[in-house]
Amino acid sequence: MNVEILSIGTEILLGDIVNTNAAFLSRRLAAMGMNLYRQSVVGDNLGRVVEAISESFSRADMIITTGGLGPTEDDLTKEAVAKYFGLKMILDEKSAEALRMFFEKLGRPMTENNMRQAYFPEGSVIVKNGRGTAPACIVEKDGKVIIVLPGPPREMSYVFENEIEPYLSRYTDSVIKSLTLKMFGIGESKMEDSVKDLISGYSNPTIAPYAKTGECELRISAKAASEEEALALIKPVESEIRHRLGEYIYGKDSDSLASVLIDKLNEKKITFASAESCTGGMISSMITSVAGSSDVFAGGIIAYSNDVKIGILRVNPVTIEKYGAVSEECAAEMCAGCAQLFSVDASFAVTGIAGPGGGSVEKPVGTVCFGFYYKGDIKTVKMHFGGDREIVRIRSAMFVLDALRKGADIL
Amino acid sequence: MNVEILSIGTEILLGDIVNTNAAFLSRRLAAMGMNLYRQSVVGDNLGRVVEAISESFSRADMIITTGGLGPTEDDLTKEAVAKYFGLKMILDEKSAEALRMFFEKLGRPMTENNMRQAYFPEGSVIVKNGRGTAPACIVEKDGKVIIVLPGPPREMSYVFENEIEPYLSRYTDSVIKSLTLKMFGIGESKMEDSVKDLISGYSNPTIAPYAKTGECELRISAKAASEEEALALIKPVESEIRHRLGEYIYGKDSDSLASVLIDKLNEKKITFASAESCTGGMISSMITSVAGSSDVFAGGIIAYSNDVKIGILRVNPVTIEKYGAVSEECAAEMCAGCAQLFSVDASFAVTGIAGPGGGSVEKPVGTVCFGFYYKGDIKTVKMHFGGDREIVRIRSAMFVLDALRKGADIL
C-alpha cells in the first residue's frame, strides 16, 4: 500500500509553523511497513487542495491529510475531498449534538460557523477527536482511501494513535525494525565507501548512511512478518558492519558519546573531572546532560584566563611563558592540577584557539591541545580542526568524549 | 514569480528529521514577496526526483531544492536536474581544487566519491558553500529556474542568506527589510495579544510572532522601492512595540542573551566568573561561545558534587547539612566563594534539581536556586521550571543570562 501525506495550511507555506505533523506520521507509517514516497504541503485554497488530492491519487492509493478541519472559512479539507470524489456534504447529527454540548458546558454561545465541524462527505467513517472539537474522517471510494486528520499536533497524534493506527493495521501484514549504528572518527564518505557493496547488495534489510556535525551513522531497517524475523534479518548485517567499522562504532540508537562514556566509567567506578579553556564548559555540559553522570563526574574548572590556569590549576607560569597557554605542556599541567584539585582518578584538559581571533602562523585558529590524566599517567595530543568558532569547539568536545571512551575501554 | 520548495531526502520521508529547511525558506520567500503555493518532499530516488521536478515546473517557474548534494550514491539532486533539462554533468575544476585542499588541510585521504561534489549540470551558476564541502548551484533554462541548496540546515541557511537572497532580488522589484525584536520573560501568546491590533492593522510592514525554547520574537518586515523607505516604514512600528513590550526586549536580529550580556560587561569593564551545579557548564559554554568573552569572563567552577562545593567554593558544610545543596543559602555561599577564588567583580551560582531523579515533595524536579554576587553584595532567588532535564537546564541558563544582563543595565 503506497501512502502520501498531504498537509493543508497556509501558515505552513508562510513558514510560520514547522510541519512536525508530517514527521510524526512518516515515522509511524515507516514503523508499520507502509511505503511513503511523497509529502506535500498546500495552502487553504479549495481548488489547489482538490488538485493536490488528485495528483497524490495518481501516484498512491492512500492519502493522509492534516489540517483544515476547524470552524473558519479557511478550513475546507472535507469540502475538497467531497468535491474530488463527487460527494455531497452531509450533517452528522451525533457530531452536531456533541458540539452543542461542548459549548453548553463551556458556557459560551456557539457561533454558526462552528457547525461546519459536523458536516462530512457522504459515506464518511467519522472518527472521534478525543482532544478537540473537530472530528476526523475516513473516505473510501473506488479503491482509494483518504484519511482526514485535524491540524493541531496534539489532536492529530492522539487521533492517529487511538483511532487510525488500529484501522491501518488491516493494510499491512509486516513490521519494520531498525537499528542505528553510531560512529565517530570517520567521515560519511569513507564510511559509505567501506560498506558500499552491502548498501547496494541488500534490499531487506536496507542500509542507509546519515551524517551529523562530527559524527555519522548507518541505519539498518528490516521488514518482516514478525519482530523476531525482522531482528534476525538485521543481525548478520550488523555483524558484518561491526567487523568492518567496529573501531569507529561507539554505540547504537539513542546512545551519545557522552552517555556511552558515563556508562563505561560508572561500570568501572572511575571518577573524573574537567579543565576546559577554549571549550568553556561545553564538554562538561554534554557530560552533565546525561542523567546519572553525577556518580562519576565530580566537576570541573573553566580555565578561560591564564590567571585561572596558574592560580587554580597550578600551571607553572614558566610553562605558559615558554610554550604558550595553547601547548601540550600546558594541557599536561592543567589536567594534572585538575585531578589533584578534585581528588579524582582521571581528568582531561583542553586549551586551544577557537577563533575568530587569536591565531598565529605556528598556531592557527583551530589548534587545540588536549591532556588526559589517569592515576598519575599523562598523555597529550595536539589537533587542528577546521570550521568556525562553534565547530572548533564542538569537534574538540567530541574528540575528548571519544578519547575518554576509548581510554575507558583499555583500562 | 511562483516558487515551489522541493526537499529531497529519504530521512524526511522516514520521519527521522523534521523539515525545518522548508519552514526557513518559506518564511524568507514570504518576506521577499514571492508566491509559494506548494512544498514537496521526495526520497533519494533519481526517477522520483525527476518526476517531482517535472510536476513542480508544471505549476511554477522556480524551484528551490534542499538536500542530496553530498558525496554518497544517495546524493543525486544535481543528476536529477541534469536529467530533467537534458544537460550533461561537468566537472568544475575550481570546486575540485577546493575539495582537494580541504582534505589536504584535514590530513585525510579523499575518497573518490567526494569528487561527486564538484560535478554540476552544464551551464550551472556554481554557488560557494561557506559552511560545507558541497557547493550549491543555480540552473536557468527555457524560462525555468532551479536553485539547488545543500540539506544540512546550517549550510542551507548560510548559503541562502549570503548568496541566494541577493540573487533573488532581481525577481522582485522591491526591497524587503526586516527587523527582529528578541524577547525573554514573556510567553508567545501574551506577546501576540499585546500587539494583536498592530499585527492585524498593518499590512506593510507585516508583523509576525515566533517562539523558541524560552524566548520569543517579533519580526517586522517592510517592502518598499528602496532600503531607506523600507527602514522608514519599520521605524514607527518598532517604536510602538518597544513602548508596549520594552521590558522584555533584550536585543534584535542576531543578538543572543549571552552576546548582549558580554557587550554590556565589556562596556562597563566588569569581570565575572561562574559556579554551576545542575547546569554543569552550559551557561559558561553559552558565554564563551561569544567571541570576545575572554575580556570579561575569567572562568568558572562546575561544582557538581558537594565535595567540590565545600572543598573548592568554600561552602560551609553546615549550610548544606541544614538547608541542602539546592538552597538559596548554598547558592549565596557558592557565588561568594566563586568571586573570591577568581578575584572578579561579579559572579553567579546555580544549584538545582534538573531530574529525572532527585526530586522531593519540598524540592520537586525543576527547583533551581540562583546566587548573584557583585562587589560584596549578594542576591538569591529560587525558581521552579517545568520540562525535562534538558529544558530545566536551558531555562536555568537563560534565566541567569537575562538576570545578569538586567543587572548590568542598572550598575
**All domains of chain A, ordered by start, with CATH?**
2-171 (3.40.980.10), 175-252 (3.30.70.2860), 257-410 (3.90.950.20)
C-alpha grid cell for residue A252? 547504537
B302 neighbourhood in chain A, CB within 8 Å:
274, 281, 284, 288, 299-302
* Alpha-carbon gap, residue A271 to A406, rounded angstroms: 16
Mean pLDDT computed over A317-337: 97
A312 neighbourhood in chain B, CB within 8 Å:
299, 341-342
Mean pLDDT computed over A252-272: 95
Closest CA to B244 of B207, B297, B292, B204: B207
Least CB–CB distance from A281: residue in B18, B285, B308: B285
Where residue B411 falls among pLDDT bands split at 50, 70, 90? Answer: low
The DSSP element (H or E) to which B384 belongs, if any, is strand B377-384
C-alpha grid cell for residue B331? 547558592
For residue A176, count other CB atoms closer than 10 A to its CB: 20
B100 touches chain A (CB under 8 A): no
Mean pLDDT computed over A393-401: 96
pLDDT of residue A221: 87
pLDDT of residue A171: 84
Are B302 and A288 contacting, i.e. CB atoms less than 8 angstroms apart? yes
| A48-57, A384-393, B269-278: segment of lowest average pLDDT | A384-393
Per-residue pLDDT tens over the stretch B165-207: 989 988 877 777 889 999 998 877 788 889 989 988 888 998 8
- Residue percentage of chain B with pLDDT more than 70: 99
pLDDT of residue A174: 79
Are A304 and A377 contacting, i.e. CB atoms less than 8 angstroms apart? no
Mean pLDDT computed over B85-106: 92
For residue A316, count other CB atoms closer than 10 A to its CB: 14
Residue of B nearest to A43 (CA): B37
- Longest Cα separation, chain B: 80
Residues 6 or more apart whose CB falls under 8 angstroms from that of B180 comprise B217, B218, B219, B220, B252, B253
pLDDT of residue B208: 79
pLDDT of residue B403: 95
> Which B residues in the span 265-294 are in contact with A, Cβ-Cβ below 8 Å?
274, 276, 278-285, 287-289, 291, 293-294
Chain A nearest C-alpha distance from B237 (Å): 20
A47 touches chain B (CB under 8 A): no
A295 touches chain B (CB under 8 A): no
What angle separates helix B46-59 from helix B77-85, to the nearest 10 degrees? 60
Closest CA to A61 of A3, A22, A5, A123: A3
> Which B residues in the span 138-167 are in contact with A, Cβ-Cβ below 8 Å?
152, 154
A291 neighbourhood in chain B, CB within 8 Å:
355-357, 389
Least CB–CB distance from A14: residue in B16, B27, B274: B27
Query: What average pLDDT is seen over chain B?
Result: 92
Per-residue pLDDT tens over the stretch B64-85: 999 999 998 889 999 999 999 9
* Alpha-carbon gap, residue B356 to B95, rounded angstroms: 49
Strands (DSSP E) along B11-135, which ranges? Answer: 35-42, 62-66, 89-91, 119-121, 125-127
In this model, does residue B55 exceed pLDDT 90? Answer: yes
* Alpha-carbon gap, residue B87 to B80, rounded angstroms: 10
ipTM of the complex: 0.77
In this model, does residue B290 exceed pLDDT 70? Answer: yes
C-alpha grid cell for residue A209? 548512511
Phi, psi of B70 (to 5 degrees): -75, -170
Are B150 and B137 contacting, i.e. CB atoms less than 8 angstroms apart? no
- The vertex-B264 CA angle with B259 and B268, nearest 5°, equals 145
Would you call A298 and B307 a contact, using CB atoms and an 8 Å cutoff?
yes
pLDDT of residue B281: 97
Would you call B73 and A300 a contact, using CB atoms and an 8 Å cutoff?
no
pLDDT of residue A358: 86
B219 neighbourhood in chain A, CB within 8 Å:
none
Residues 6 or more apart whose CB falls under 8 angstroms from that of A325 comprise A277, A306, A309, A351
Task: Choose, out of B2, B13, B64, the residue to mutate when testing the contact with A (most A CBs < 10 Å).
Answer: B13
Bond prior to A356 in cis (omega within 30° of 0) = yes
- Residue B246, classified by CB atoms within 10 Å of its CB into exposed (0-12), middle (13-18) or buried (19+), is exposed
* Alpha-carbon gap, residue B46 to A288, rounded angstroms: 44
pLDDT of residue B318: 97
Q: How far is CA B27 from CA B30, B31, B219, B255, B280, in A?
A: 5, 6, 11, 19, 35
Question: Residue A35 pairs with which residues in a beta bridge?
Answer: A2
Least CB–CB distance from A15: residue in B30, B106, B302: B30
Are B301 and B340 contacting, i.e. CB atoms less than 8 angstroms apart? no
Chain A nearest C-alpha distance from B47 (Å): 12
pLDDT of residue B310: 97
B66 neighbourhood in chain A, CB within 8 Å:
none
Q: Which residue has the cell 534565566?
A: B399
A186 touches chain B (CB under 8 A): no
pLDDT of residue A104: 85
B313 touches chain A (CB under 8 A): no
In this model, does residue A314 exceed pLDDT 80? Answer: yes
* Alpha-carbon gap, residue B364 to A105, rounded angstroms: 34
Are B275 and B283 contacting, i.e. CB atoms less than 8 angstroms apart? no
pLDDT of residue B105: 81
> Which A residues in the span 217-236 are in contact with B, Cβ-Cβ below 8 Å?
219
B39 neighbourhood in chain A, CB within 8 Å:
12-13, 19, 40-41
Where residue B388 falls among pLDDT bands split at 50, 70, 90? Answer: confident
* Alpha-carbon gap, residue A89 to A83, rounded angstroms: 9
| Identity of residue A331 | A
Least CB–CB distance from A26: residue in B15, B208, B356: B15
Mean pLDDT computed over B27-39: 88
* Alpha-carbon gap, residue B9 to B74, rounded angstroms: 9
What angle separates helix A77-85 from helix A46-59, to the nearest 10 degrees? 60
Would you call B302 and A288 a contact, using CB atoms and an 8 Å cutoff?
yes
Least CB–CB distance from A16: residue in B28, B208, B276: B208
Mean pLDDT computed over B316-343: 97
Chain A nearest C-alpha distance from B240 (Å): 23
A13 touches chain B (CB under 8 A): yes
Q: Determine if residue B247 is left, alpha or beta; phi over 0 gives left, psi from -120 to 50 gives alpha, anything else beta.
A: alpha
Phi, psi of B149 (to 5 degrees): -110, 155
In this model, does residue A410 exceed pLDDT 70? Answer: no
For residue A132, count other CB atoms closer than 10 A to its CB: 19
- Three-state secondary-structure class, residue A80: helix
| DSSP-assigned letter for residue A110 | P
Closest CA to B76 of B65, B60, B61: B65
Would you call B27 and A48 a contact, using CB atoms and an 8 Å cutoff?
no
Would you call A14 and B37 a contact, using CB atoms and an 8 Å cutoff?
no
A300 touches chain B (CB under 8 A): yes
The residue that leads in pLDDT, B153 or A213, is B153
- Three-state secondary-structure class, residue B170: helix
Mean pLDDT computed over A114-125: 95
Least CB–CB distance from A299: residue in B74, B107, B302: B302
Mean pLDDT computed over B365-379: 96
Are A53 and A146 contacting, i.e. CB atoms less than 8 angstroms apart? yes
Residues 6 or more apart whose CB falls under 8 angstroms from that of B193 comprise none
Chain A nearest C-alpha distance from B25 (Å): 7
C-alpha grid cell for residue B213? 525554547
pLDDT of residue A371: 97
* Alpha-carbon gap, residue B380 to B377, rounded angstroms: 10
Would you call B291 and A355 a contact, using CB atoms and an 8 Å cutoff?
yes
* Alpha-carbon gap, residue B231 to A177, rounded angstroms: 54
The DSSP element (H or E) to which B5 belongs, if any, is strand B2-8
Number of cross-chain residue pairs from A and B with Cβ atoms under 8 Å apart: 259
pLDDT of residue B211: 67
In this model, does residue B221 exceed pLDDT 80? Answer: yes
B192 touches chain A (CB under 8 A): no
| DSSP-assigned letter for residue A295 | G
Task: Choose, out of A190, A288, A289, the residue to mutate when testing the contact with B (most B CBs < 10 Å).
Answer: A288
pLDDT of residue B410: 65
Mean pLDDT computed over B367-392: 92
In this model, does residue B119 exceed pLDDT 80? Answer: yes
Residues 6 or more apart whose CB falls under 8 angstroms from that of A86 comprise none
Would you call B300 and A298 a contact, using CB atoms and an 8 Å cutoff?
no
What angle separates helix B389-410 from helix B257-268, to the nearest 10 degrees? 30
B208 neighbourhood in chain A, CB within 8 Å:
16
Query: What average pLDDT is seen over chain A?
Result: 92
pLDDT of residue B176: 73
Mean pLDDT computed over B5-29: 93
- Residue percentage of chain A with pLDDT more than 90: 73
pLDDT of residue A411: 62
B23 touches chain A (CB under 8 A): yes
Classify each residue of B366-405 as buried b or exposed e, where b means 16 or more C-beta atoms within 10 Å of its C-beta: bbbbbbbbbeeebbbeeeebebebebbbbbbbbbbbbbbb
Would you call A281 and B288 a contact, using CB atoms and an 8 Å cutoff?
yes
Least CB–CB distance from B304: residue in A288, A289, A341: A288
Residues in chain B: 411
- Longest Cα separation, chain A: 88
Closest CA to A15 of B242, B397, B351, B3: B3
A386 touches chain B (CB under 8 A): yes
